[in-house]
């Protein structure tokens, strides 16, 4: 029978190597157990980092989409709020005009005209609203107000009306001023090009093609502007005032119906943005779960491995001590 012996120096070297290896495994398992992440991800993916890189790229892309969704949501919410303010002003003024235009009302047309002046100013200021320093109704000119000052606009409208003394002449001149090619074109300070679409998801964009020069907003402002002539002394005949109030009220009633359609369009864009945000959130959750499963260390598995390594270390220490205590006298006992 052949026996192989190992020298003392070689034995010490072997024991030291085992000790180093076990301590390394012990430290790695301790770190993985405390952090919950595997230490050697390269070994886990077998050197194929494309999976990890793909996940990280997708998550970064979703972050940019999140920013776009937030910006688009803020943009459309600001628009909806402004359009709601214009609609509220128009409804209130339209109701007062129809009452004053009924002919049998005790509501003086001059009072309604003064209300119309405040209402017109409020509508113009609502359309000049900004969100995060960006003008909402100026199209591709976010740094510019959408409309000129309401007082300047009314001065231009009065100049266009001139010496008209009838309700029909006033309404015709005002409608012409607000029509394409009229004075309103110069009062609109924004861009003829609509703001660019928002990229809110992979292959998903939402465009909001609404500016203050939209025909439906022109009609609403025209109704307000007509009513301001009830209070400026242009008309002296009471019947003409009643006729102007009735016409302006009917005009606003019709314009309000179209304004509701415009608000519905903006609402449709809001719904698209919300759906895109929901899809992005679901994709992000799925990616984060997959990434966690890829890089996480199973705590129960690591605890079992750690206990096994600890036991081996204790056995190694015991063997090392015994080996160190060996002597010829002990051997011959």
Q: How far apart are CA 227 and CA 174, in angstroms?
A: 10
Same domain for 278 and 307, yes or no, is no
Residue 29 counted as domain residue: no
Residues with Cβ within 8 Å of 305's Cβ and at least 6 positions away in sequence, in order, are 25, 29
Q: Which pLDDT score is estimated for 329?
A: 46
Residue 12 counted as domain residue: no
Same domain for 241 and 333, yes or no, is no
Residue 102 counted as domain residue: yes
Residues with Cβ within 8 Å of 227's Cβ and at least 6 positions away in sequence, in order, are 93, 97, 112, 113, 115, 116, 119, 120, 244, 245, 248, 249, 252
Please state the domain count of the chain. Answer: 2
Q: Which pLDDT score is estimated for 331?
A: 47
Q: pTM for the full model?
A: 0.74
**CB-based contact 24:297 (threshold 8 Å):** no
| Cα three-residue angle 241-242-248, rounded to 5 degrees | 85
Same domain for 328 and 284, yes or no, is no
Map residue 134 onto helix, strand or coil. Answer: strand
- In this structure, what CATH number is given to the domain that contains residue 92? 1.20.1330.10
Same domain for 86 and 134, yes or no, is yes
Count Cβ atoms below 10 Å from residue 287 Cβ, excluding itself: 16
Residue 20 counted as domain residue: no
Residue 154 counted as domain residue: yes
Q: Which domain range does residue 103 map to?
A: 51-288
Residue 10 counted as domain residue: no
The rounded average pLDDT for each run of 10 residues, N- to C-terminus, in the chain (333 residues) is 50 59 58 55 55 78 90 92 96 91 71 93 95 89 93 95 90 96 95 87 87 95 95 86 93 94 94 92 83 59 62 62 53 49
Same domain for 114 and 60, yes or no, is yes
Same domain for 99 and 121, yes or no, is yes
Residue 132 counted as domain residue: yes
């Amino acid at each position: 029978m052949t026996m192989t012996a190992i020298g003392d120096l070689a034995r010490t070297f072997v024991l030291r190597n085992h000790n180093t290896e076990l301590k390394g495994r012990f430290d790695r398992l301790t770190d993985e157990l405390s952090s919950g992440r595997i230490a050697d991800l390269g070994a886990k993916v077998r050197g194929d980092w494309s999976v990890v890189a793909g996940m990280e790229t997708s998550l970064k892309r979703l972050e940019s989409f999140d920013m776009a969704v937030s910006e688009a949501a803020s943009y459309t919410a600001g628009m909806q709020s402004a359009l709601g303010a214009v609609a509220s002003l128009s409804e209130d003024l339209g109701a007062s005009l129809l009452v004053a235009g009924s002919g049998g009302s005790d509501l003086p047309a001059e009072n309604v005209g003064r209300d119309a002046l405040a209402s017109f100013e409020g509508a113009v200021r609502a359309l000049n609203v900004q969100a995060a320093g960006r003008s909402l109704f100026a199209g591709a000119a976010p740094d510019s107000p959408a409309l000129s000052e309401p007082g300047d606009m009314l001065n231009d409208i009065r100049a266009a009306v001139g010496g008209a003394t009838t309700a029909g002449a006033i309404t015709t001149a005002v409608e012409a001023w607000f029509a394409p090619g009229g004075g309103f074109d110069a009062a609109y300070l924004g861009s003829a090009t609509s703001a660019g679409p928002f990229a809110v998801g992979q292959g998903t964009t939402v465009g909001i093609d609404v500016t203050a020069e939209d025909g439906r907003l022109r009609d609403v402002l025209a109704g307000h502007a007509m009513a301001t002539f009830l209070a400026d002394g242009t008309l002296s005949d009471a019947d003409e005032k009643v006729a102007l109030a009735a016409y302006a009220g009917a005009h606003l009633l019709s314009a309000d119906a179209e304004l509701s359609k415009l608000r519905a369009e903006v609402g449709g864009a809001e719904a698209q943005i919300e759906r895109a945000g929901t899809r992005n959130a679901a994709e992000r959750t799925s990616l984060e779960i997959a990434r966690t499963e890829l890089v996480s260390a199973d705590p129960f598995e690591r605890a079992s491995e750690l206990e096994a390594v600890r036991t081996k270390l204790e056995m190694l220490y015991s063997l090392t001590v015994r080996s160190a205590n060996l002597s010829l006298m002990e051997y011959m006992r």
